[in-house]
Amino acid sequence: MTRKQIILGAYFPGVNHDTVWSDPASGSHIDFASFAHWARTAERGKLDLLFLAEGLRLRDRGGAIFDQDVVGRPDTFTVLASLAAITSHIGLAGTINSTYNEPYELARKFATLDLLSGGRAAWNVVTSSDADTGENFRRGGFLGHHQRYSRARETLELVRRLWDSWGSDAVVADKDAARFLRDGDVGDFAFSGEQFDVSGRFTTPRSPQGHPVILQAGESPSGRDFAAAHSDAIFSRYQKFDEAKAFYDDVKSRVAKAGRNPDEVKILPSAAVVLGDTLDEARDRHAEIHHRQVDPQTAIVLAEMVWNRDLSRVDPDGPVPDLDPTPDAPKWIRGRAPLTQDAHATAAAWRELGREKNLSLREVVKHVFDRAVFVGTPESVADEIDRYVRDGATDGFIVGSHVSPSGLDEFVDRVVPRLVDRGVFRSEYAGATLRDNLGLAPPARFGEPRRHDSSVAS
């Protein structure tokens, strides 16, 4: 019997404390050559997709730009379109905010990316409640939590309507009959909701996937329901086996409750991988990398994200501080996703962990922020990845490392072949589109039977 196939993606190591820019192997985070190397490596490994994160303002701390982590990133759409030119099979997933983009423009850009890439576009839909990011945009302020989700829901609905506004057969291009479009209603749409009241004709033909693949991250119960109802795949941060399995079971049951087949939504946690020739070597390497990821200053900054106050006088090698968090004060660190919903509870848990295991603040932070799920030999890491998928904790992983652009090389060269040998990962791309490769059916739409949609253009 054919074993269930693992989905593998790769995220570009960018703006986060996991990226060790001081590593001698660390290259540019901006130059296209870095993205090209990373993408070619991933495609050499026959991975499913590439994944770019987002940040629409530079982070600051106490009113000054935070200068210790990697700062700056290129525009996501632009990089993905350039990567479309030099790759031919791999999916191109971009994190794009629904709060600071208009649906019409989003629909055009993703349809264009899908057309130019021959059906490889994916959109990781995120929202923002960050008033500071709003300072860079016309909207100016920010949307409250409720409005933010209402805008996200309407954005997705409207974008899908725009993608559906051109039939698969809308472009006739019949020179002899002087007929370019099938009819004069191609692209017509109208939408009226709480957030948008728009109408007209969409400019861009239906793309090879019909609807580019939709990814979401769901954390809160309402976020999980939203993702279960609307997404093709869910990007998760639950990595340890038990928590991954709990998340997987919870979300798949929400997918079923939303009236969908649980297989229609893939769960993909992020996972950093550290390899060694022996288990000990891998552990040593991981310890060294993690030591550099959470240096004393970073430990303080990560604690400040929980406490929401200046902790620069706290000794990172001393105990977790007894100071009270001040979650209601003006934000001390801006431009990063919040770490916790309940600062007091998190601070208490950190203190408890420190007391219980006799750990310093820095050691507690290292414990909490260890994203290297897979530390071992290529053989043992392949075993673990296989086990997670076989035992129903995940459908696959989005893997990353602490250096760009070469951090993926080892994984592709040493782990992927072992997964192929086990028969749980492809040795050649089977499908033409990302949807095909992920095992997702083409989107159904009103008036058209569900079927494999051949591009009008490719």
83 φ/ψ angles, rounded to the nearest 5 degrees? -70, -30
User: Does 55 sit near other proteins (CB under 8 A)?
Assistant: yes
User: Does 312 sit near other proteins (CB under 8 A)?
Assistant: no
Q: Give the binding range for other proteins (CB under 8 A) out of 67-75, 344-352, 403-411, 435-443.
A: 67-75
Site for other proteins (CB under 8 A): which residue of 1, 2, 138, 313?
138
Nearer to other proteins, 183 or 277 (CB): 183
**CA proximity to 35, closest of 89, 78, 4:** 78
β-partners of residue 310 are none
**CA proximity to 8, closest of 411, 289, 392, 305:** 411
Rounded distance, CA 40 to CA 86, Å? Answer: 8
- Taking a C-beta distance cutoff of 8 angstroms, is the pair 104, 162 a contact? yes
Site for other proteins (CB under 8 A): which residue of 129, 147, 203, 340?
203
Nearer to other proteins, 204 or 437 (CB): 204
Kindly state the smallest distance separating residue 65's Cβ from other proteins, in Å.
Answer: 4
- Taking a C-beta distance cutoff of 8 angstroms, is the pair 411, 273 a contact? yes
Rounded distance, CA 101 to CA 39, Å? Answer: 26
Q: Is the peptide bond before 405 cis (omega within 30 degrees of 0)?
A: yes
User: Does 79 sit near other proteins (CB under 8 A)?
Assistant: yes
User: Does 32 sit near other proteins (CB under 8 A)?
Assistant: yes
Category of 376 on φ-ψ map: left (φ > 0), alpha (ψ -120 to 50) or beta: left
User: Does 109 sit near other proteins (CB under 8 A)?
Assistant: yes
Which parts are annotated binding residues for FMN?
A: 95, 145, 149, 220
Kindly state the smallest distance separating residue 356's Cβ from other proteins, in Å.
Answer: 30
Kindly state the smallest distance separating residue 74's Cβ from other proteins, in Å.
Answer: 4
209 φ/ψ angles, rounded to the nearest 5 degrees? -85, 0
Q: What is the CA radius of gyration of the chain?
A: 23
In the range 366-385, which residues lie near other proteins by CB under 8 A? none
Nearer to other proteins, 78 or 222 (CB): 78
Distance from CA of residue 370 to its chain's centroid? 18
Rounded distance, CA 448 to CA 431, Å? Answer: 22
Kindly state the smallest distance separating residue 255's Cβ from other proteins, in Å.
Answer: 32
Site for other proteins (CB under 8 A): which residue of 38, 51, 77, 307?
77
Spatial CB neighbours of 162, under 8 Å, sequence gap ≥ 6: 103, 104, 107, 108, 111, 189, 202
Site for other proteins (CB under 8 A): which residue of 199, 242, 313, 330?
199
Site for other proteins (CB under 8 A): which residue of 117, 124, 128, 437?
117
Site for other proteins (CB under 8 A): which residue of 108, 331, 367, 371?
108
Nearer to other proteins, 1 or 178 (CB): 178
Kindly state the smallest distance separating residue 84's Cβ from other proteins, in Å.
Answer: 6
Residue 176 burial (CB < 10 Å; 0-12/13-18/19+)? Answer: exposed
Report the Cα–Cα distance between both ends of the chain, in Å, rounded. 35
Site for other proteins (CB under 8 A): which residue of 13, 45, 167, 205?
205
Spatial CB neighbours of 87, under 8 Å, sequence gap ≥ 6: 39, 40, 43, 117, 120
Site for other proteins (CB under 8 A): which residue of 261, 326, 454, 458?
458
Nearer to other proteins, 113 or 381 (CB): 113
Kindly state the smallest distance separating residue 38's Cβ from other proteins, in Å.
Answer: 14
Report which DSSP code applies to 264. G
Q: Which residue has the tokens 């652009």?
A: 405
Kindly state the smallest distance separating residue 369's Cβ from other proteins, in Å.
Answer: 17
User: Does 73 sit near other proteins (CB under 8 A)?
Assistant: yes
- How many CB atoms lie under 10 A from the CB of residue 444? 12
Site for other proteins (CB under 8 A): which residue of 44, 182, 283, 331?
182
Q: Give the binding range for other proteins (CB under 8 A) out of 27-35, 217-225, 274-282, 423-431.
A: 27-35
User: Does 288 sit near other proteins (CB under 8 A)?
Assistant: no
User: Does 187 sit near other proteins (CB under 8 A)?
Assistant: yes
Write each residue from 139 to 178 as x if it is in contact with other proteins (CB under 8 A), else as -, in one continuous string: -x-------------------------x----x-x-x--x
Question: Which residue pairs, CB below 8 angstroms and at least 24 apart, start in 175-183?
Answer: none
User: Does 180 sit near other proteins (CB under 8 A)?
Assistant: yes
β-partners of residue 334 are 60
